[in-house]
A and B are shown apart, each in its own frame.
Chain A
């Protein structure tokens, strides 16, 4: 049945007086798309940071494919098959799109203590990089410098880089942040194609996207999980409606980010 890929147990992280992650316990099954939603400040990015290794928890543990990765440094987790995309675009601005993705490929091709051969003409790096770019729809823009790409293309590139590391678990932190309706729809299409071939933990505000993609949903409020399960069940859950969807009156949480 559904094999558990990632087991999060009692994960807690405090920043001074603020509890950003409060005893989070969650199981992510292999090959599922698991969405994490919640209002701003709910601790979603903290969660991704804890999973990717940029932040260490004060309590709790994380097991990936059975191994305890709670205190592993960021680069090791990437090597194990955990990839993340960033909410605030984090790319290599003075390089081309292809260079960016090729670096991600290179990171997983053994060590890089090779001092002589030109790396840019290396098929071993370029072929997989182009493939990743094609997967997100950026193949024609491979030779363009990142600072000349549009915001939507940046978001696509973010995902391409994560994909190029051939991850087993993809952590997507608001992939559609700042995208317009058409671009978002394209992104959803593209993510749909990834469904089933890898496990995805998706943080998003865009509810349409979430309901279109997610197999399961977890709702985070003030660092705690208040509900977790199938999308339809969550939609109907009274506590969720009250705590989260109820805030729609005040702000624009259900729609897309502008």
Chain B
């Protein structure tokens, strides 16, 4: 039971991270109609930036802030140089172009930081565990991730729903030409939105880094999960991304933890051992398949909210 609760919290934590990634992706897609395969690269860069800054400054928090800022800048520069020419093109062109960027960034990271990967150390306060219920202790840091991400989500909501920038974002999602005709600098808006997505991805990368190692290609696996989140939640919908991210995070984590045992009850040990690990990683995709059968547009299909 305790294990179950712990796994649920882990699932929520993964879900939060997925939400950050999915939010950035879905914003960019909803507003600029752009499929960005290099989004995972920005996540990876965030983690590497943080690892470097942490080594330089010795402070995790400072490294976090610097890394997010660096991701924001990197995202905006990338947008101006490489992404802008892709607007309005076929989605296939987007896929091709951002795939090239993905390959480029993996290689660039290998060049600059070497193939070995890095670690990001946590400050000692976070290495403890917090008592959340009688008898249940949960790692402080994972709790911090959940809370920090919720804070960022709230901030994102506030920005999108309550500020002028947010209003422009929402307007741009429903009617690009109109916003441009109103004299708003659409180019700048797009750059900011892309940068925002990059900052979200970078933040997620930094937060996740102490738990998994910082390595080349770390963006790919989580990117695909983020895609699954968007499919389930509905493209262009941040609310959908949030709900779907929690669901996906929970199912993936809890599935991996419990499915092998459930299988062992139902199948022979041999079969369970062969299939167990595979099936548990499949649980997300099975969920996605189920959604596709009953509701192909996703849970909350909408323009960017």
Is A in direct contact with B (CB under 8 Å) within the complex?
A: no
The chain B residues found within 8 Å of chain A, CB to CB, are none
Residues of A within 8 A of B (CB): none
